[in-house]
Amino acid sequence: MARKRVAVLISGRGSNMAALIEAAKAPDYPAEIVLVLSNRADATGLVTARAAGVPAHAVGSKSKAGMETEIDRDLTDAGVDIVALAGFMRILSAEFVRRWRGRLINIHPSLLPAFPGLDTHARALAAGVVRHGCSVHFVTEGVDEGPVIAQREIPVLRGDTPETLAARVLIEEHKLYPRALAMVASGTARP
Ligand code: GRF
């Protein structure tokens, strides 16, 4: 079966993007990363992607509508099948989400439906939860609300800070996202 063509949308560091690029090097991986887009020109993930031989550029438009038109055109031009959001810090419009529905996924640093939105690690600690982790989900109109594809859990440890917790969750994110993308690309996970 032909490998699915995947674009990764980032805003910064791009460590999850790098994990996807690395996983897709395996000949039997069901997807290939064909494009990386960033809404920020200074995203270090753009440099990482290019170093790995993946075409990567920033979208120039400042307005949301302009940015989405540009992204949509770039995705279509590159023949993209699946869009993976990886630390992409702009909320996409309902129209964009509808157009890519079932083919648009996101990684979120909490065990959804717990802690949608920002500052998940600090909020998890404040809530006193004993398990935390990360989720990959299909993107729907509501922020961090779509059906969960896969999750990984870790224990919250005594003395954890938002930073130590974030670092341990990130290790799990790098394992989870390649697995979840493979599930979507192979058709094992459906919205
Ligand atoms: C990750 O924790 C991801 O779950 C969240 O933003 C962070 C992005 O990190 N949405 P990176 O850019 O993938 O390194």
Report yes or no on 27 lying in a domain: yes
Does a structural domain hold residue 63?
yes
Give the residue numbers spanning the domain of 36. Answer: 4-186
Pocket of ligand 1 (CB under 6 A): 10, 12-17, 45, 86-87, 107-109, 170, 173
Q: What is the pTM of this model?
A: 0.97
Return the residue whose CA atom lies nearest to atom 5 of ligand 1: 87
The residue-averaged pLDDT of 153-161 equals 97
Whether residue 19 is predicted with pLDDT greater than 90 in this model: the reply is: yes
By the 8 A CB rule, do 88 and 74 touch? no
Domain count, the chain: 1
Residue 11: which CATH number?
A: 3.40.50.170
Q: For 82-125, write each residue's pLDDT tens digit.
A: 999 999 999 999 999 999 999 999 999 999 999 999 999 999 99
The predicted pLDDT at position 60 comes to 85
Ligand 1 atom closest to residue 17's alpha carbon, by position in its atom list? 13
Ligand 1 atom at shortest distance from the alpha carbon of 14? 12
- Closest ligand 1 atom to residue 85 Cα is 10
Question: Looking at the domain assignment, is residue 191 inside a domain?
Answer: no
Residue nearest to atom 10 of ligand 1 (CA): 87
Element (H, E) at 133: strand 131-138
Looking at the domain assignment, is residue 74 inside a domain? yes
